[in-house]
Chains A and B, each alone.
Chain A
C-alpha cells in the first residue's frame, strides 16, 4: 500500500549504500536536550530519524531504551510533547518515524494521534505491540492521515504471515533480526542473511534491519542484504552518557558506503 508521499520508501531504499536510521527517545535525557540531540542527529547524514514516544511498559525494548523511556517519563514527557518534538525535528527536513506502543495511542485517541502526527510532518509510525491481525481501525486512521504504517517481521514469522505483513506494511518493512528485545549485541545473529532474503521475496518495499545492530562492522555485513539498518540502543547509550551521538553515527555511515 502506498501513501501519497512515499517519503520513507524513497529515503530508505539502498542505492549501493546502506541507509541508516537512528533512534532516539523523545524527552531523553530531558525535553530540552532531546531537541538539541535530535537536531544534531537530523542533520548527521542519516536517512530517517526514528523517535520513540516513551511508554511505561515497553515490551520490545531492552534495558538501555527502557531506561531512556523511564527517564523521559520522570521528566514529564507526554504523547503531546513528543509530537511537538517530532514537529520541530521534521522541520529539519528529515523523514520522521514514530515508534510507540498501542496503549498511549489508544489513550490519546488513535484518530487524533494520526491527525496530530500528520500535522507534525511525521512520515510513518511503528507500533510493535499492534499485530497485523488486530491493526484496524488504528492502521486505517494512520493511512487516512497519509502516514506509513510499518509492520515488523521476525525470525519466528511464518512465510505465509510474512507475505501478509509485507502486503500491509507501507514505507518499509521492519525486519527484527533477533528473537528478543532491543539492545546492542556484539555479533549479528546467524540466519539473519536468510531471513532478509526471505523478506525480500515478499516485498518491493525497502527492508530495514533492526534490534542488536550497533557497530560499523554490522553495517558492512548488512550492505547488499538490507536496504537500511536501524541503530537504537547504541545511540541512546551515547545520549545517556551526555556524549554527542553523531560521532558514532559518522562511524556507522562510513561503514554504510
Chain B
C-alpha cells in the first residue's frame, strides 16, 4: 500500500519501498497502477519488463523509420512489438498504442548517448 493505493509494489520483505530507476520519468515509480494490477490478476494482460537500452533503441528506430517520435514510455512497448513481430513473422499484425509524444524526452534520450540500430 503506497500513496493510498493497494497494488503491486517494488518492496522488500519488510514492506520497505525500494529505489527505482527508469530512463522514462513516467515509469520511474515503485508502484503499478491499480487497474494494471487488476488486469494482471485477471490474466487479461501479459506484462513484460523492458530495459532502458532497448526502449531508447526502439525510440530511435521508430523516429527514423516512421518520422514519429514516441514518448519513452510507449518506446518500451515498441521494443516488445519488435520481439513479438519476429515470432509472428511477415503478415502478422500488431497494434501498439503510442500513449505520448517524445519531444519531452529528447534530453533523456540524448543523455543515453548514441545507440546503434
Contact = CB atoms under 8 A, between A and B. Distances in A.
Contact of B15 (A59, A79, A129): A79
B49 interface: no
A78 B3 CA distance: 21
A106 B3 contact: no
Interface in B1-59: 1-4, 9, 11, 13-18
Contacts of A73: 16
B76 to A, nearest CB: 25
A104 interface: yes
A116 to B, nearest CB: 13
A187 interface: no
B13 to A, nearest CB: 7
Contacts of A107: 11, 13-15
A103 B3 contact: no
B1 A56 contact: no
Contacts of A172: none
Contacts of A102: 1
B16 A104 contact: yes
Interface string A125-151: 000010000000000000000000000
Interface in A166-217: none
| Chain A interface bracket (under 10, 10 to 19, 20 to 34, 35 or more) | 10 to 19
A75 interface: no
Contact of A59 (B3, B14, B16, B18): B3
Q: Is the interface of A mostly helix, strand, loop or mixed?
A: helix
A104 B15 contact: yes
Contacts of B17: 56-57, 103
Contacts of A105: 15
Nearest to A57: B17
A159 to B, nearest CB: 23
B2 A103 contact: yes
Given A103-B11, A107-B11, A55 B16 contact: yes
Nearest to A105: B15
Q: Which of B1, B9, B14, B17 has the most CB of A within 10 A?
A: B14
Q: Which of A56, A78, A106, A108 has the most CB of B within 10 A?
A: A56
B37 to A, nearest CB: 14
A78 B2 CA distance: 18
Contacts of B16: 55-56, 73, 104
A41 to B, nearest CB: 25
Contacts of A106: 1, 15
Contacts of A103: 1-2, 9, 11, 15, 17
A79 B15 CA distance: 9
Contacts of A59: 3
Contacts of B3: 57, 59
A109 to B, nearest CB: 10
A106 B9 CA distance: 12
Interface of A: 55-57, 59, 73, 78-79, 102-108, 129
Interface of B: 1-4, 9, 11, 13-18
